[in-house]
A = this chain, B = another copy of it.
Amino acid sequence: MTSAPDATPPAEPARRRRRDPDTHRAAILEAAREAFAERGYARATIRDIARRAGVTHGLVMRHFTSKERLFLCAVPGTRDIDEVVAGDLASLPERVAGAFVARMETNAADDPFVALVRSAASDERAAIDLYTAMQRRSVAAYRTVLDGDDVDVRVDLMAAQLTGVAFNRYIVRAGPLASMTAAELTTHLSRVLRRIMFD
| A152–B168 touching, CB < 8 Å | no
Let me know if B168 and A153 touch, CB within 8 A.
Answer: no
Interface residues in A, total, Cβ within 8 A: 38
| SS class, residues of chain A in contact with chain B | helix
Q: Is A182 an interface residue (CB 8 A)?
A: no
* CB neighbours of A118 from chain B (8 A): 121-123
Q: Report Cα–Cα, A159/B174, bound state, in Å.
A: 12
Given contacts A121-B118, A122-B121, contact A156 B168 (CB under 8 A): yes
**Of all chain B residues, which has the CB nearest A168?**
B160
B153 to A159, Cβ gap below 8 A? no
For the A-B complex with A156-B175, A159-B168 known, give 14 more contacts whose Cβ atoms are closer than 8 Å: A120-B167, A123-B171, A128-B173, A136-B175, A153-B180, A156-B176, A157-B161, A157-B165, A160-B168, A161-B164, A163-B163, A163-B164, A167-B167, A192-B192
Separation of A171 and B122 alpha carbons in the complex (Å): 9
A residues lining the B interface (CB < 8 Å): 117-118, 120-123, 128, 131-132, 135-136, 152-153, 156-157, 159-165, 167-168, 171-177, 180, 188, 191-192, 195-196, 199
